[in-house]
C-alpha cells in the first residue's frame, strides 16, 4: 500500500476514536441536563462516527489496485463514501429540526445545570478544533476526498458547539428557548455542509474535468517536449482525487514506432512529475500530415 494510503487510514482511525470519546461525554451530559442542544450535537457526533467509518472503508477500498471488475481502479469509492456521509448529515439535520419543533411546542421546557453542559461543550469544542485541523491537514497532504469530508464534519461540530454553548448560556440566565435555537443552528449548519459535500462528490462521479490550472500545466509539458509538432483533444476526468488524461500529439510522419513509443512513455512520466495527482496518461500518436487546423494547437518550436 502507498505511504499516503497508510497516512489516510491512520487519520481515519484517529477520527473514529475521537468521535467515540466525544459521543460518550455529550450523550451522558445531554441526557442528564435534558438539553436539546447537547442531545442534537451528540446525535450529530453519532452520525459523524458513522461518517468516519465510511471514510475509513472508502479510503481502504480506494487504495485497492485495478482488477477485473474495476479496470481504472477504485478511487471513486472515496467519492461514494463522501456522498453517503453527506446523506447521513442531511438526515440528521432534518431529525434535529423536527425535534426542535416538538420541544418548542412542549410546555415547561427546562434544562438542568446549564453550566455543566457549557463546560462539557467547551471541552468538546477544543477537541473538535484540534481534530478538524489535523484532518484538514492530512486531507490536503494525501489529497483525500473522504478525509476532507470527515474534516468538514468536525468543522461543523465546532460551529455546532459554539451555537450550543451560546444557547446554554442564555438558558442559564433565564431564556430556556435559546437552547432550542442552538439546536436549530446546529441542524442548519449540518444541512449546509451536507449539500456542499454531496455537490462536490457528485460532480466528480459525473466525470468532472480537472481544473484549468492542471490542464495548463499539462499543456506546458507537452508544448516543451522535443519532437512533438502539435497536439489536440487534451482532456481529463477526475476519479476520486486521481486524474486520467488523454491527448493526441503529432509527430513527423517518418518517425519510427520505437521512437514514437519512447516519446509517449517519457511524456507520460514528465506529466505525472509535474502533476502528481495524474494517475494515467493515454497518448494518441498521429503523423503530422493529419493536422486538423480547427482543433490542433501547432507548436512553433520546429
Which residue do the cell numbers 481502504 mark? 60
Output the tens digit of pLDDT for each of the chain's 302 residues.
455 566 766 777 777 787 788 888 888 888 888 887 888 778 777 777 776 776 667 667 666 667 676 656 666 677 777 788 788 778 888 888 887 887 777 656 677 777 888 888 898 888 888 888 888 887 777 767 667 767 777 777 787 788 888 888 888 887 778 888 888 887 888 788 788 878 877 877 777 788 888 888 899 889 888 888 888 888 888 876 678 888 998 888 888 888 888 888 888 899 988 888 888 888 888 887 655 544 556 555 44
DSSP collapsed to 3 states, 256-270: CHHHHHHHHHHHHHH
* Alpha-carbon dihedral sign for residues 242, 141, 45, 178: negative
Residue 21: other Cβ atoms inside 10 A: 12
Map out the domains of the chain with their CATH numbers: 3-205 (1.20.1510.10), 212-298 (3.30.70.1350)
Chain-centroid distance of CA 215 in Å reads: 21
CA-CA distance, 297 to 220, in Å (whole number)?
12
What's the grid cell of residue 152?
Answer: 468538514
Contact 51, 44 (CB under 8 A): no
Planar angle of CA 45, 50, 51, nearest 5 degrees: 90
Q: Within the chain, where are the H helices?
A: 3-33, 36-62, 76-105, 114-142, 145-172, 177-205, 212-224, 257-274
Q: What is the DSSP letter of 176?
A: T
Contact 85, 149 (CB under 8 A): yes
Amino acid at each position: 500500500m502507498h505511504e499516503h494510503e497508510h497516512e489516510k487510514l491512520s487519520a481515519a482511525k484517529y477520527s473514529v476514536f475521537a468521535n467515540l470519546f466525544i459521543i460518550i461525554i455529550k450523550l451522558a451530559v445531554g441526557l442528564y441536563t435534558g438539553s436539546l442542544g447537547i442531545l442534537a450535537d451528540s446525535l450529530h457526533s453519532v452520525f459523524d462516527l458513522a461518517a468516519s467509518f465510511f471514510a475509513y472503508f472508502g479510503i481502504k477500498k480506494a487504495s485497492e489496485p485495478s482488477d477485473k471488475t474495476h479496470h481504472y481502479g477504485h478511487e471513486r469509492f472515496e467519492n461514494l463514501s463522501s456522498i453517503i456521509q453527506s446523506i447521513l448529515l442531511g438526515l440528521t439535520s432534518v431529525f434535529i429540526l423536527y425535534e426542535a419543533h416538538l420541544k418548542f411546542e412542549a410546555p415547561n421546557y427546562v434544562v438542568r445545570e446549564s453550566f455543566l453542559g457549557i463546560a462539557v461543550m467547551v471541552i468538546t469544542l477544543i477537541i473538535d478544533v484540534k481534530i478538524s485541523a489535523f484532518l484538514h491537514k492530512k486531507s490536503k497532504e494525501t489529497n483525500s476526498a473522504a478525509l476532507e469530508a470527515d474534516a468538514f464534519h468536525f468543522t461543523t461540530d465546532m460551529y455546532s458547539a459554539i451555537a450550543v454553548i451560546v444557547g446554554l448560556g442564555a438558558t442559564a440566565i433565564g431564556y430556556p428557548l435559546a437552547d432550542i435555537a442552538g439546536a436549530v443552528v446546529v441542524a442548519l449548519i449540518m444541512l449546509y455542509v451536507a449539500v456542499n459535500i454531496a455537490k462536490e462528490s457528485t460532480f466528480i462521479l459525473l466525470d468532472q474535468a480537472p481544473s484549468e490550472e492542471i490542464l495548463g500545466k499539462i499543456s506546458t509539458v507537452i508544448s516543451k517536449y522535443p519532437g512533438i509538432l502539435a497536439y489536440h483533444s487534451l482532456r481529463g476526468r477526475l476519479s476520486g482525487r486521481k486524474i486520467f488524461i488523454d491527448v493526441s500529439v503529432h509527430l513527423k510522419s517518418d518517425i519510427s514506432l520505437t521512437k514514437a513509443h519512447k516519446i509517449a512513455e517519457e511524456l507520460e512520466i514528465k506529466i505525472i512529475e509535474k502533476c502528481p495527482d495524474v494517475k494515467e496518461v493515454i497518448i494518441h500518436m498521429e503523423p503530422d500530415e493529419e493536422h486538423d487546423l480547427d482543433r490542433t494547437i501547432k507548436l512553433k518550436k520546429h
